[in-house]
Structure 1
């Protein structure tokens, strides 16, 4: 039987609602796979694209970056890398997740075990890719890579926004790399962050959070390795800059990881003290050899040098299988079918905490 595809289209800039209509089935490139999508996770950028018209200029457009499903077609290089028709996978894409069939580059595809549902698997790709490039890439914070059997390395990292999607993935990967993690989150999410591996968690609403955090870091007896702001916010970034300036005694630790690239107009980054610099990721873009956003904005390519394989191809599938990596934040099922995606976008625009909004397709 011939396949047919349907998508939730954003027909023009800042238009609502998404329009459910036929779509061509994307053909996978040699490095790609075609996935029958079973679950889609929402990210804040999805609501921002629809409501504020960010990033893309050509419409109609199929947005969405996080998905999970079953492979139905495999490119030649993807087959050589071990992917097969029938594999259950999670995947990240620059755009195009809001449809029944989606093609994805294997740099952001990972197999998922049977005990992980599609709804669980789809919460990870954007969070993993954003945190991983910021924390571990040689041109960014250059921290140790996650391992299935980690050994403590005597170093500590701060993750501000630990209950966010990126923060949840960051905490788990840092623990898997042997770091002690100190988190910052809302008081209601303290236990959540500790279950992910944070040794201590501080309340972001406390007037003394910065001082208490610095005191805990100084009392830990461990080497300060850096601070990662896993959420947007000018005051959050200013606090992270002050922490790096106060505690970073070598160039490598005087780095503030951020989810906001300095050339993005949505948030002007604070000026930096001498010797402190930003490390950042542009989400899936930094993992993909062919990037439309890179071409649109003229971004430089970060050389991967096998980095993406170390995270997505090697560590991630094994960590899921063993239970070392949890699919967090927990999926909150908004509905079933493409017509639930507009409701999910509207909910995302209102903000969520320690949850990932998910729409199931079948």
Structure 2
């Protein structure tokens, strides 16, 4: 292993043009840490948000990225769950553990799990942040089961298409909001019903659901209260959108929860299990080499995830 690596960094906040390829020292693992040789690292909407505003990241300059898949290049003192050479994937601690958009990344050992053998690094890198968000929303927070009726907004997106699949592993009935052009895709990943949000007001088409997973923002969270049964749960990946709804929701007997994803070895183990059995398959919208990260940020593709390849 050499002493330096290529990484994508920025010295100022702004658009994709602020991203540049730089040489940085390869990090050294401390107690309980490993260094991962990154083969693939996904992009998430929060990367663009951080690039533009600096939200969730350290002082300039910084390296973005939370999702990684690769092999262990070095282990720190006390690490027993991984060895050098192990193929692993996971999410760096959100929000302050960013640094995946580089050839090497430092990670707490227990944020990573073994990569399923049949899963390519590109697919594995697309799973952690979006998959954990969906898992923590539906399984840990809403505690869905085979009797649950679930509405998922943005069902063709990174979180949404994985949420559909996770819900189906629990036996739930899934109603998905997606555009007409993405309807076939969302059906293929498991949705029982698809509503074209561009032509149909979902509050008129859906009633008596147990759970709403809301990932879009705007007035969607407020409108979601109209389709939930008393005792239902609204989980939003945009916490500010649900805070003003707490009083109204409580009057209706509805729980509202704003979720920020957390590094979670138990959740990652579950995602790896379902990925290994083919019950959870991340869709890849596009791939770019690491040195084309700016192009990856500037190109809007879908459905699914965009992934950077570093090896």
TM score, norm. by length of structure 2: 0.88
Gaps of 5+ in 1: 145-152, 219-223, 288-307
**Deviation for aligned residue 1:228:** 0.6
Distance 2:244 2:155 in 1: 21
Residue in structure 1 matching 2:277, options 311, 322, 347: 322
**Deviation for aligned residue 1:361:** 1.6
1:282 paired with 2:268, answer: no
Verify the 8 A CA contact 2:66 2:91 in the aligned structure 1: yes
Distance 2:242 2:202 in 1: 23
Q: In structure 1, the residue corresponding to 2:175 is in which secondary structure?
A: strand
1:353 paired with 2:307, answer: no
- 1:271–1:163 Cα change, 3 Å: same
- 1:96–1:239 Cα change, 3 Å: same
Q: In structure 2, the residue corresponding to 1:234 is in which secondary structure?
A: coil
Larger relative strand fraction: 2
**Deviation for aligned residue 1:169:** 1.6
Distance 2:130 2:268 in 1: 12
Distance 2:59 2:242 in 1: 25
Distance 2:32 2:276 in 1: 24
Residue in structure 1 matching 2:266, options 310, 331, 335: 310
Compute the RMSD of aligned alpha carbons. 2.3
Q: Which residue of 2 aligns with 1:85?
A: 84
- 1:321–1:203 Cα change, 3 Å: same
Distance 2:296 2:60 in 1: 21
Distance 1:109 1:62 in 2: 19
Could you report, residue by residue, the CA deviation over 1:270-312 in whole angstroms, capped at 9, with x for unpaired residues? Answer: 53422333223222xx22xxxxxxxxxxxxxxxxxxxx34321
Q: In structure 2, the residue corresponding to 1:228 is in which secondary structure?
A: strand
Residue in structure 2 matching 1:226, options 205, 211, 233: 211
Q: Which residue of 1 aligns with 2:129?
A: 126
1:159 paired with 2:152, answer: yes
**Mapping of 1:140-219 within 5 angstroms?**
140-143=141-144, 153-214=146-207
Verify the 8 A CA contact 1:90 1:109 in the aligned structure 2: yes
Could you report, residue by residue, the CA deviation over 1:135-154 in whole angstroms, capped at 9, with x for unpaired residues? Answer: 233xx32335xxxxxxxx22
TM score, norm. by length of structure 1: 0.76
Could you report, residue by residue, the CA deviation over 1:197-252 in whole angstroms, capped at 9, with x for unpaired residues? Answer: 211111111234322122xxx5xxxxx431111x22212222222222xx2x22xx
Distance 1:179 1:195 in 2: 16
Verify the 8 A CA contact 1:133 1:280 in the aligned structure 2: no
- 1:66–1:234 Cα change, 3 Å: same
Distance 2:107 2:131 in 1: 16
Verify the 8 A CA contact 1:31 1:105 in the aligned structure 2: yes
**Deviation for aligned residue 1:359:** 1.8
Verify the 8 A CA contact 2:65 2:99 in the aligned structure 1: yes
